[in-house]
Amino acid sequence: MSKPPLPHSEKTRAALIAAGLHLFSQLGYAGASTRAIAGRAETNVASIAYHFGSKEGLRTACAEEVARLIGEAVGQAGPQPVGPSQARAAIKSTLTRVAGFLLGDVAPPDAIGFMLRELSEGGPAADLVYARMIEPTHQRLCVLWAVATGLAEESEQVRLAVFALMGQLFYFRIAERIVRRRMRWQAYGPGEISKIIDTLTRGIESALAGG
């Protein structure tokens, strides 16, 4: 069943967020003018102030939209695993969902670009992205890693191991063109993403075996 059309006001708001995600991701916050954003959304500049209060308010709304997409893609933490084998399975499941968000077509490319740009620039929206995705996903994986290895979940060793794991996923996204060129892949399709997950999973098993 198709969704009912949005009221005009909500449609304009959604168009501004989509335009903001695109231009903020391409040009950065400072480089994306309100005139360009309004033009891409096919509305007037005053509508930004009407819907969001300011350009900064639009930036926050874009971050909220990315957080919503992250929540839908990654989901909430499941029940606490009772043993190492369950923890390993849960790590792979979490990794697969995050990979689907970062590498697949779960989220619009502009949403991923916006998130990466905000994290690199360290703007206010970066705090929201960190709080909604980076920290909870990292904490979830730390808990699973601890169950799988018997190490303390907040130990430096575990936190760094999980960052190394997450960093590999971000690398496959940031360096997508390089990876696809070297692998002779036309795109990151389901098969390619599955191969990436399998490769990372083997690395996880090796790392977990070593503690």
Count the Cβ atoms, other than its own, within 10 Å of residue 45. 15
Q: Phi and psi dihedrals of 67, rounded to 5? A: -60, -40
Mean pLDDT of 92-121: 86
CA distance 102 to 64: 17
Q: How far apart are CA 109 and CA 35, in angstroms?
A: 22
pLDDT at residue 95, as a whole number: 85
- pLDDT (tens digit per residue) in 76-91: 666 777 789 899 888 8
d(CA 49, CA 29): 16
Percent of residues, the chain, with pLDDT higher than 70: 94
Does this model's pTM top 0.85? My answer is no
Q: In terms of CATH, what superfamily is 66-209?
A: Tetracycline Repressor, domain 2 (1.10.357.10)
Residues 72 and 55: their CA atoms lie apart, in Å, by 26
What homologous superfamily does CATH list for 8-61?
Homeodomain-like (1.10.10.60)
- Domain ranges in the chain are 8-61, 66-209
Instruction: Give yes or no for a contact between 73 and 79, defined as CB atoms under 8 angstroms apart.
Output: no
